[in-house]
């Protein structure tokens, strides 16, 4: 992408007029993405003015999107009907990842408190995990709930590496992916050989688990087969260096949608087919940390990207649990 393209893309978000269809920043790189693009839907910036947005989780029953602003230590709610954003909880433990369980309760990864929590339907908060074998977690980062109710989350120390996203502290144990039993609250190491596990999601049939690994370098995304309920046969799914994924989600066709960082011409969302082929991009003027499907038909993609939240209608639907 040339400098003129970057200038034009930046100017888009400063103009007051409409965007011409089809949206030039929704790009098909493979015929499989062409049927996902809606020629009469544009990327919308629905909220802005934050420091670092993360953890989008959609509530279809109230048509609201919950998301976090990590440095501001705030959990926020954007109303799809009114377009208004309000603060639900502050302080909130520097929440990063969010999702809903199969009972509709909010599951949150708190970088500051270094706990995995559940917000009950009456608004009270339950700590689901804070330690593993007597040692305090390094900081839950992202989370997904499987159809059997088990909760899977990455613990990667993002909140202890400095005082911007949490509280600086020494690393006391390896970074891992854990499985939490919903009945016993027992933690099991699901993936223990990654440098810094980050975003994660299951394939629609839950036979695959995708996990992003984000050390200093290289940043890669891996896929595991689910064997007897646990990940096995881990292998590289894609390496998009110099760009990389963060939060990820699957659609019902098995495509993997990735919040993506790579600089101008790559920042936004990258979409990979189940075979690992990059099939499409949604370009944003900011790096995108995470995403979630929502809307009344789960076909509206919400993207938490640095200082803003964006949305785009697509001809794809997200799977439950992410």
What confidence tens digit (pLDDT) does each residue in 151-198 have?
A: 999 999 999 999 999 999 999 999 999 999 989 999 999 999 999 999
Tally the residues of the chain: 322
3-state secondary structure of 8: helix
Distances 102 to 147, 230, 277 between C-alpha atoms, Å: 7, 20, 31
The 3-state DSSP composition of the chain as helix, strand, coil percent (nearest 5) reads: 5, 45, 50
pLDDT in tens, the chain (322 residues): 444 566 666 678 877 678 889 999 999 999 999 999 999 999 999 999 999 999 999 999 999 999 999 999 999 999 999 999 999 999 999 999 999 999 999 999 999 999 999 999 999 999 999 999 999 999 999 999 999 999 999 999 999 999 999 999 999 999 999 999 989 999 999 999 999 999 999 999 999 999 999 999 899 999 999 999 999 999 999 998 889 999 999 999 999 999 999 998 899 999 999 999 999 999 999 999 999 999 999 999 999 999 999 999 999 999 986 6
3-state secondary structure of 256: strand
Domains and CATH numbers, the chain: 26-313 (2.120.10.30)
pTM of the model: 0.95
Residue for token digits 């959609």? 58
């Amino acid at each position: 992408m040339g400098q003129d393209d970057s200038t034009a893309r930046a100017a888009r978000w400063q103009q007051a007029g409409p965007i011409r269809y089809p949206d030039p920043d929704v790009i098909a790189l493979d015929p499989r993405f062409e049927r996902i693009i809606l020629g009469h839907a544009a990327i919308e910036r629905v909220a802005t003015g934050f420091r670092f947005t993360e953890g989008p989780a959609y509530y279809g029953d109230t048509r609201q999107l919950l998301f976090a602003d990590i440095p501001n230590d705030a959990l926020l709610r954007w109303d799809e009907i009114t377009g208004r954003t309000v603060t639900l909880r502050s302080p909130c433990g520097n929440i990063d990842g969010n999702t809903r369980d199969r009972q509709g309760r909010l599951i949150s990864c708190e970088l500051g408190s270094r706990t995995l929590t559940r917000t009950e339907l009456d608004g009270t908060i339950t700590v689901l995990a804070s330690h593993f074998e007597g040692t305090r977690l390094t900081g839950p980062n992202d989370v997904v709930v499987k159809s059997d109710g088990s909760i899977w989350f990455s613990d990667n120390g993002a909140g202890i590496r400095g005082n911007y996203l949490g509280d600086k502290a020494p690393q006391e144990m390896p970074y891992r992916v854990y499985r939490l039993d919903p009945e016993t609250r027992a933690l099991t190491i699901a993936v223990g050989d990654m440098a810094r596990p980050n975003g994660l999601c299951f394939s629609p049939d839950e036979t695959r688990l995708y996990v992003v690994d984000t050390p200093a370098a290289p940043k890669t995304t891996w896929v595991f087969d689910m064997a007897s309920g646990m990940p096995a046969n881990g292998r590289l799914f894609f390496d998009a260096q110099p760009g990389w994924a963060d939060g990820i989600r699957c659609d019902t066709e098995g495509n993997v949608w990735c919040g993506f960082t790579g600089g101008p011409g790559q920042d936004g969302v990258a979409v990979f087919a189940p075979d690992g082929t990059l099939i499409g991009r949604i370009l944003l003027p900011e790096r995108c940390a995470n995403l979630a499907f929502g809307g009344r038909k789960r076909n509206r993609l919400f993207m938490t990207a640095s200082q803003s939240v964006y949305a785009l209608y697509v001809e794809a639907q997200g799977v439950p649990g992410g």
